[in-house]
Amino acid sequence: MPRAVVLLSGGLDSAVTAAIARSQGRELFALSVDYGQRHRHELEAARRVAQSLAVRDHVIVPVDLSRFGRSALTGQYEVPKDRPADEMASGIPVTYVPARNTVFLALALGYAEALSAADIFLGVNAVDYSGYPDCRPEFIAAFQRLANLATKAGVQGQLDFQIHTPLAGLTKAQIIRRGLELGVDFGLTHSCYDPDPAGRPCARCDSCLLRLKGFAEAGLKDPLEYKAES
Amino acid sequence: MPRAVVLLSGGLDSAVTAAIARSQGRELFALSVDYGQRHRHELEAARRVAQSLAVRDHVIVPVDLSRFGRSALTGQYEVPKDRPADEMASGIPVTYVPARNTVFLALALGYAEALSAADIFLGVNAVDYSGYPDCRPEFIAAFQRLANLATKAGVQGQLDFQIHTPLAGLTKAQIIRRGLELGVDFGLTHSCYDPDPAGRPCARCDSCLLRLKGFAEAGLKDPLEYKAES
């Protein structure tokens, strides 16, 4: 089986991405990054998802991006709540972490080259949420080009690195339906940017709102227990 | 003064690169990466060099690339010794670390964006040592393009990220002369891949051999005390 590296955040999107990679006959190697995110419950979720998908190996690399500052996700700003959909769809939010996906893909590239894996899977999604510059197709294409210039295996023609983003054209509802078809247990995932100490999602941050909207549009109930429900 | 991020390894090349950036009127912010290198004395050297150049801040980020394996620099292979110059000039050596400069530049990009610094300086050098794919001008150009697609500040036109490699066209002897003109104290730097426990360089790895050849061609004596001298 050809090997693939999957960036696994513990969220819904990366879980479905990993399930798609497996359904395409790849042997999965998962990579998660402990980057100082305030929603650290997602790393526990990544472990659960990795286990449920029987990945061959799961590496969690600590890289403290909060040292650089400037993001709500690493604690420098408040996580925005209750934003209307049109506001979420315009502009880059304060949850943007400088160069985050560049760092994640760079680490995935090192891991992939060491494993002789040509394929890297990333769960970015441009339809429901286009605010982050490092989720756009032009960024992904530029990274793929870089990957083949940056590496011994790329330059010597042993591997042709491909960055796969199978969710890029899907709505959140479509992602959820695809995940269910592939047997993803969404109860294992974590999407909230600002959970309570027990890890329960807030139901009010952008990530919760998009997730709940996706389940509603898919005509399904999110298996997670939300803080606001209690 | 415009701000610049300098990737500071503790070696001779990055010390001269930092001195050049400072001579061009930049306020320096140094970034070093503790990536699991066996020659950890270079991080101490990076601290000394940063202090001698009066950098505004020096961040050392731990990112354990040895988790991925596959390099002599992170302990998976022996560091080669006594290689002739023509052998060093051909092929990619086992000291290549998968995706290392991609990871370094990705971190530098995050740091630069958080600081509102458009300029990133990297001490790669293509003349004396062209073995590493991620030291070549085409890699640097591809990363610069990526940087401006990957970031909020790049996409919104607030910063035009530039990756500066002022040593790219210089021989090691020219780099050493330029450093002396700028007052770099080479006694603070560390280049050896395989020092003894006291940090003394081996004089036999590729890095020592290139450094010693550079000093010889410049008609100068390296201020470091080498293991082989004792």
B149-178 per-position pLDDT tens digit = 999 999 999 999 999 999 999 999 999 999
Is the pLDDT at A106 greater than 90? The verdict is yes
Type of residue found at B65 = L
In DSSP terms, which residues pair with A135 in a beta bridge? none
Would the CB atoms of A149 and B155 count as touching at under 8 Å? no
Mean pLDDT over A11-39 rounds to: 96
d(Cα A16, Cα A14) in Å, to the nearest integer?
5
pLDDT at A230: 43
The interface predicted TM-score (ipTM) is 0.94
Domain ranges of chain B: 3-229
pLDDT at B230: 43
User: What would the two tokens of residue A144 be?
Assistant: 């793929």
pLDDT at B129: 61
Q: Which long-range CB contacts under 8 A does B64-68 form with residues at least 24 apart?
A: B64/A61, B64/A62, B64/B35, B64/B36, B65/A110, B65/B35, B65/B36, B65/B97, B65/B98, B65/B100, B65/B103, B66/B35, B66/B36, B67/A59, B67/A61, B67/B36, B68/A59, B68/A110, B68/A111, B68/A113, B68/A114, B68/A115, B68/B98
Would the CB atoms of B136 and A149 count as touching at under 8 Å? yes
B3-229: what fold?
Rossmann fold (3.40.50)
On chain B, the residues whose CB falls within 8 A of the CB of A109 are 98-99, 102
On chain A, the residues whose CB falls within 8 A of the CB of B151 are 98-99, 133-134
User: Under DSSP, is residue B14 helix (H, G, I), strand (E, B) or coil?
Assistant: helix
Mean pLDDT over A76-86 rounds to: 91
On chain B, the residues whose CB falls within 8 A of the CB of A105 are 106
d(Cα A102, Cα B109) in Å, to the nearest integer?
9
Residue percentage of chain B with pLDDT more than 90: 83
Smallest CA–CA distance, residue B173 to chain A, in Å, is 27
| Dihedral sign for Cα atoms in the order A30, B62, B149, A88 | positive
Residue percentage of chain A with pLDDT more than 70: 97
A122-144 per-position pLDDT tens digit = 999 877 666 789 999 999 999 99
In this structure, the dihedral spanned by the alpha carbons of residues B208, B213, B215 and B217, taken in order and rounded to 10 degrees, is -170
A155-200 per-position pLDDT tens digit = 999 999 999 999 999 999 999 999 999 999 999 999 999 999 999 9
Considering only CB atoms, B110 lies closest to which of A61, A98, A111, namely A98
On chain B, the residues whose CB falls within 8 A of the CB of A136 are 149
Is the pLDDT at B229 greater than 60? The verdict is no
Would the CB atoms of B65 and A134 count as touching at under 8 Å? no
Q: Which residue of A57, A95, A152 is the best one to mutate when testing the B interface, meaning the one whose CB has the most B CBs within 10 A?
A: A152
B90-126 per-position pLDDT tens digit = 888 899 999 999 999 999 999 999 999 999 999 998 7
